[in-house]
Chains A and B, each alone.
Chain A
Amino acid sequence: MKLRKMISLTCVVGVVLSLVACGGKKQNESQAATDTSSKKTQIKFWNHWGSETNEAKWFNDKIAEYEELNPDVEITQTNIPMEDYTGARLTTAFATGEGPDIFSASPGTLPAFTEADVLYDLSKYFSEDVLADFSEDAINSVSVDGKILAAPFEQDLLGLYYNKDMLDAAGITPPTTWDEMIAAAKALTTSDVWGITYDLTKGAYGNFIFMPFVWQTGGDFFEGDKSLLNTPEMIKALTMWKQMVDDGSANIKPSRFASDGAILAEGETAMWIGGSWAITQYEKEYPDMNIGLVPLPIPDGGKPASAGGGWRLAVSSQSQVAEQAAKFVQWLFLDEDPTNAIQWNTEVKFSYSPRKSVIEQAEDIYQKGLRATFTNEIYGTEQPELSMEPEVSDIIGDMLQNAIFSMSPEDAAKEGDRKLTEFFEN
């Protein structure tokens, strides 16, 4: 008995000691790491681009370039999957003071970060010339009380992509009006293929792709503190959005997030409301697919409209190295020389730079392939993605969900209007 007790006691003590030792060792290791590199400034850069994407690889190249020019700086890029990134990751990091120094932010989340006061003022990193080079819309979208709180560097436009082969086989020409789009979607739906795909889940992206259709009718979501949800224009757009779901032509359960161009390229759908970000994906990964692009169809009596999204780079005000971090952001996209910006918008991916110099200098690229449609037919009709507080985004998301799944568009608009008015009054 006594021997067994001794052996088991020794085992327990052994396990506990080894755990303590391991923990201690790890601490020593990390301490050593900070000791040797404490002479260098450590900058943490978090973003939502996948580690295998062109975007992430380009950032690594640029980081290496910058570190050569600035040997006292060390930058680490961390790529976080989209769902985590827009979910709990950033919030908890900031809450515990472990947030990154530089991070990507979308128009949908910027207001939350602004309210939380985690955005470092970047105004002084825009020289006069550079500031003039940026479009007014872009600067306004990231400014609060005259302070520039994030760096815009790309703008994605929305259009209607389609599978040329599928449309040809069905004898359909690409739609230019809402009625044509609804009819085409119906005709193109088969037992295997959805006529059209657009995001039907509740969230910032679902709101984003719905926005241009509202603007086409001449309506909007709100003006200052006034809700514009219970208007005939909004109801008209909601009705169209719901119609294709009721017809069974809208993809109610896409195999991947509805912003992924692969939905169209993999043959899951015949038409896809998507953005300019998909062009490089199609050219590199699906060069043999016949994919076409037209501007978003408009309602009778409506005007063409698209939406301009795009991520921004922000510097955390919690950061101990905010100045050095901001300098890197400036070198990347706010420099007098727009070479990096041109690379990003034309080689790494395809998007529109908010800087006029880029559009001018890269004119050739902007005419290549499907880009020509964006540049010649869609660019200029876009309004920037609406920036809104999370509560407003939630109300609009609910309105869409209700209109599609559980109420009539009229009731959904009325309910959304009631909630938005209530929110603005408080």
Chain B
Amino acid sequence: MKQGKEIMKQKYANKKRKETLTAYLMLSPNIVGIGIFVFIPMLYAVYVSFHSWNGMSDMTFTGVDNYRRLITDTDFLNSVKTTLIYAVTYIPLVYCISLGLALITNSLRGKLETFCRMAYFMPYSISTVVAALIWSFMYDPKRGYFNGILNALGIKSQNFLADTDQALFAVMAVSVWLIVGYNMVIFIAAIKDVPQSLYEAADMDGANAVVKFFCITLPTIKNTTVFILVVTTIGSFQVFDQISIMTGGGPAHSTEVAVFRIYDEAFRMYDFGYSSTMAVALFVVIMILTFIQFKITGSKED
């Protein structure tokens, strides 16, 4: 008997080892790819951040000079501030709109539901560049679509992308428009996973729709909420295409987020060393923020 059990254990261990090996084998192309194209360049960027380099001639080692410059660099601090303003507005906006659309679409039935789901998702399939161009034309101060509507309502034409107060939010609108459909689909899947029995029980207790949402739906889709929030946060720090095409960081730096500042320093100022320093600083900032976010939202596993 004991021998039999031993053999079973051995077989199980071997099978486990084979499965683990197969798993690693399947993952290896991805790991190698990410290693070559993401991790190694990241380490290289940290290396470059201690040098002065214009991208064309040789690098010269400058120690912590770049980092010392970073501490008093108001331009970079402003770009971080702009990024934070963008993030603090973008993340709640995306979350609420995505969830809202999911709830609305989920309450529909049949062809209308299918149509809504498709319509809201479609912007995601457009490239950011094309979206940025189309919205640029819509924002045109004289001949744009938006001012046409505003004028028809008796409101003065706005400058949108050429206004230091409006430009950042005008760009943000495009980013929101692009992503809410995608998040909506994820939310719909999560909402559909909530057991109907919970809602029926709540109905029996006489709960209205608002109570049902906050007490049943929201807590049950918590994991999805965390996922969406983290992904949206990271995405809010990465906005580049729209800014590059619609405003180029302007007017007067009002849309210059940190990522754009880093790009500008490298390719317009030919200072790859300092650009890498800023990139490292931004990396640390995002890492801390993501860590905090995980701590706050993701600690409890129900």
Contact = CB atoms under 8 A, between A and B. Distances in A.
A200 B141 CA distance: 15
Nearest to B159: A252
Contacts of A172: none
B251 A401 contact: yes
B161 interface: yes
Given A95-B55, A202-B250, A405-B251, A194 B142 contact: yes
Q: Give the most central of B248, B251, B267: most A CB within 10 Å.
A: B251
Contacts of A191: 142
A88 interface: yes
A391 interface: yes
Chain A at the B interface: mostly helix, strand, loop or mixed? helix
B193 to A, nearest CB: 29
Q: Give the most central of B55, B159, B248: most A CB within 10 Å.
A: B55
B66 interface: no
Interface in B44-60: 54-57
B55 A401 contact: no
B266 to A, nearest CB: 8
B291 to A, nearest CB: 32
Contacts of B253: 398, 401
Q: Give the most central of B142, B161, B164, B253: most A CB within 10 Å.
A: B142
A297 B86 CA distance: 42
Interface stretch (A109-117, A140-148, A323-331): A109-117
A404 interface: yes
Contact of B270 (A91, A192, A200, A203): A91
Contacts of A255: 137, 140
Interface in B193-245: none
Q: Give the most central of B139, B254, B268: most A CB within 10 Å.
A: B268
Contact of B267 (A87, A391, A401, A402): A87
A88 B240 CA distance: 14
Given A91-B267, A253-B139, A253-B161, A200 B251 contact: yes
A302 interface: no
Interface in A323-356: none
A92 B266 CA distance: 10
Contacts of A87: 267-268
B143 interface: yes
A390 B268 contact: yes
Contacts, number: 81
B269 A401 contact: no
A260 interface: no
Interface string A269-303: 00000000000000000000000000000000000
B248 A202 contact: yes
A299 B41 CA distance: 54
Interface string B125-151: 000000000001101111100000000
Contacts of A253: 136, 139-141, 159-162
A373 B277 CA distance: 51
Nearest to A95: B55
B252 A192 contact: no
Nearest to A117: B57
A182 to B, nearest CB: 19
A201 B55 contact: no
Contacts of A200: 162, 251
Nearest to B157: A191
A406 B270 contact: no
B248 A115 contact: no
Contacts of A192: 142-143
Contacts of A194: 142
Contact of A202 (B54, B249, B266): B249
A58 interface: no
Contacts of B160: 253
A331 B245 CA distance: 39
Contacts of B137: 255
A201 B244 CA distance: 12
A95 B142 contact: no
A116 B140 contact: no
B173 to A, nearest CB: 16
Contact of A95 (B56, B136, B251, B269): B56
Contacts of B267: 87-88, 91
A337 B281 CA distance: 57
Interface in B27-57: 54-57
Contacts of B142: 191-194
21 contacts: A91-B270, A95-B56, A95-B272, A112-B54, A112-B270, A116-B55, A116-B270, A117-B56, A118-B56, A202-B248, A202-B250, A203-B248, A253-B139, A253-B140, A253-B159, A390-B268, A394-B268, A401-B251, A401-B253, A406-B164, A406-B254
Given A253-B140, A253-B141, A401-B251, 12 more contacts: A94-B56, A95-B55, A99-B56, A112-B270, A116-B56, A192-B142, A253-B139, A253-B160, A390-B270, A404-B252, A405-B254, A406-B254
The 6 closest A-B pairs by CB, nearest first: A116-B56, A252-B162, A405-B252, A94-B56, A401-B252, A406-B252
